[in-house]
Each structure stands twice: as C-alpha cells, then as structure tokens.
Amino acid sequence: MCLGIPGKVVEIYQANGLRMGKVDFGGGVLREACLEYTPDIALNDYTIIHVGFAISKIDEKEAHETLALLAELDMLGEELPELAKDEPDA
C-alpha cells in the first residue's frame, strides 16, 4: 500500500465536504480518489494516487511509463487488484 499509482483525473466533484475525483488508471479501471491534497490539480491532469489520495502531479509521459513499469515489475496487483487482472472495474 506504500506505492503510488499514476492515473488521469477525469472528473472532479465535492463529496462529504471533500474535493474528490474519478481517476482513470488505464485498462478501463476507474477509481474514486480524494484530491484535497492537490488543490492545483485540474481535469485531465495526471497524478500519483496513494491509497485513494492524490499526492503529486506528474506529466502524461511519466505517468504512462511508470504504469507500464509497475506492470512489468508485478507491483500493480497489490495496490489495485483489478489492474493486475486486467479486468475493467464495473
């Protein structure tokens, strides 16, 4: 759970008083994440998500490269099991 996973912010909204968003990790996997700690993040930006919280902004190329490498290192499964199985999150 220590590892951050890069994804793209595809929706931003407020829920229970928190700035939240939908983050697309690729392969059809979408997850809700809290954007409270990244007030500067806008729609379509890429970010690193730690246990459901965006921590830092990164660029798109970096995001794709890191995701591919995490997959190669078998490190995605423990963070987001759907990504490892390559199944869309219904």
Partner 1 sequence: MKHLDEYRDEALTRRLLDELTATVTRPWRLMEVCGGQTHSIMKTGLHDLLPPQIELVHGPGCPVCVTPLELIDKAIALASRPDVIFTSYGDMLRVPGSGRDLFSVKAAGGDVRIVYSPLDALKIARDNPAKTVVFFAIGFETTAPANAMAVVQAKAQGIDNFAVLVSHVTVPPVIAGLMQESGVQVDAFLAAGHVCAVMGYWEYGPLAEQYRIPIVVTGFEPVDLLRGILMAVRQLEQGRHEVENAYERSVTYEGNQPAQAIIQRAFELCDRKWRGIGTIPMSGYRLRAEYAALDAEQRFPDVGAIQTAESSLCISGLILQGRKKPFECPAFGKECTPQTPLGATMVSSEGACAAYYRYGRYRDAIAEAEKKSS
Q: Give the binding site for partner 1 (CB under 8 A).
A: 1-4, 16-18, 31-34, 36-39, 48, 50-53, 55-56, 58, 62, 65-66, 68-69, 72-75, 78-81
Q: How far is Cα 68 from Cα 65, in angstroms, rounded to an integer?
A: 5
Distance of CA 50 to the CA centre of its chain: 8
CB of 33 to partner 1, least distance (A): 8
CB of 90 to partner 1, least distance (A): 15
Q: Is 87 helix (H, G, I), strand (E, B) or coil?
A: coil
> 37, 67, 49: which is closest to 2 by C-alpha?
49
CB of 85 to partner 1, least distance (A): 14
